[in-house]
Amino acid sequence: MCCPATEYLKYIEIKPNGAILVGRKIVIDGHAKRPVRVITHVHADHVIELDKSIRECREIVATEITLDLLEALNYVDSRLLPLFRAKKRPLNYHECSSYNDEEVCSVPVDHIPGAMQVSVEMKDKKIRIGYTGDFKLTHKTEIMGDLDVLIIEATYGHPLYRRPYKNSINSLLVEFVNEGLSKYKRVYIYAYHGKIQEVMLTLREQGILAPYIVPGKVYRAVKLLEEKYGFNVGNYYKDVEIQRVKNSGDGVIVFKHFNSAKYRKLDGSALHIVLTGRA
């Protein structure tokens, strides 16, 4: 520790729009007029005002998967694609990018495909600041050490979100899905982008082989993850192809965006599962 707490806080600010300002040049998961915009993952509340950042920041920093998913999920305005592609700066885990006396490093985290934590070192001040983004505290999440300040996603700061079932959540989900397929032959799962892909992978890993029906942009994102990054999902179709697979003997799992959950029909013909993204 080199300084009193008040000295550290001079280099951290959290704006009303959720943007986290670190050091003199970096803004994370929100927009501000700074040279470098960092995006930890593709959940909508972490890509706020991306179009402004594309116009006003010099670089857009994220993992390569996240940068690709931003395009596949239409988070980038088509008119800004050339500028976005010119400004994007992919960081692999444990890779760093320097901006004069400030260095941004990508740190592994367990969340959704492409998610990362961030550490920022102000070399002239000998101050190191970490930000977790969203995370699950598993062996895949690297604990950042040697920090002067750690900024933790706000969800995890309230006792309400302590989860005694966190180690069994995947097995509970699989149990619900299997029960729904057996009883109704159709299961609807509502989740945010990124969480959808995570759940698709989890169900496959747990041996559920029923076909997936997904919206067009999710189809593009999953196809990207399979073809470019080696993820193994398989047996998935665009929602316009639902008639093609509706009579599958294994049943069908239909993925929809979280915001569609309020329109679901609870008529006893299917099982509906709504995922908040907080588990």
- Domains in the chain with CATH codes: 5-160 (3.60.15.10), 166-274 (no CATH)
**Model pLDDT, residue 206:** 94
Instruction: State in Å, rounded, how far the first CA of the chain is from the last one.
Output: 34
Sign for the CA dihedral angle at 55, 60, 66, 67 comes to positive
Which tens digit of pLDDT belongs to each residue from 126-161?
999 999 998 888 899 999 999 999 999 876 667 776
* DSSP 3-state of 13: strand
For 51-106, write each residue's pLDDT tens digit. 999 999 999 999 999 999 999 999 999 999 999 999 999 999 999 999 999 999 99
Using CB atoms within 10 Å of the CB of residue 2, give its burial: 0 to 12 exposed, 13 to 18 middle, 19+ buried. exposed
Q: Is the sign of the CA dihedral 119, 27, 23, 133 positive or negative?
A: negative
Question: Rounded to an integer, what distance in angstroms lies between the CA atom of residue 148 and that of residue 121?
Answer: 10
Contacts of 6 (CB under 8 A, 6+ apart): none
> From CA 6, how far away is CA 262, in angstroms rounded?
45
Residue 117 near residue 104 (C-beta atoms within 8 A): no
What is the tens place of the pLDDT at every residue in 29-52?
999 999 999 999 999 899 999 999
Residue pLDDT, tens place only, 168-207: 788 899 999 999 999 999 999 999 998 999 999 999 999 9
Q: Of 117, 124, 103, whose CA–CA distance to 150 is shortest?
A: 117
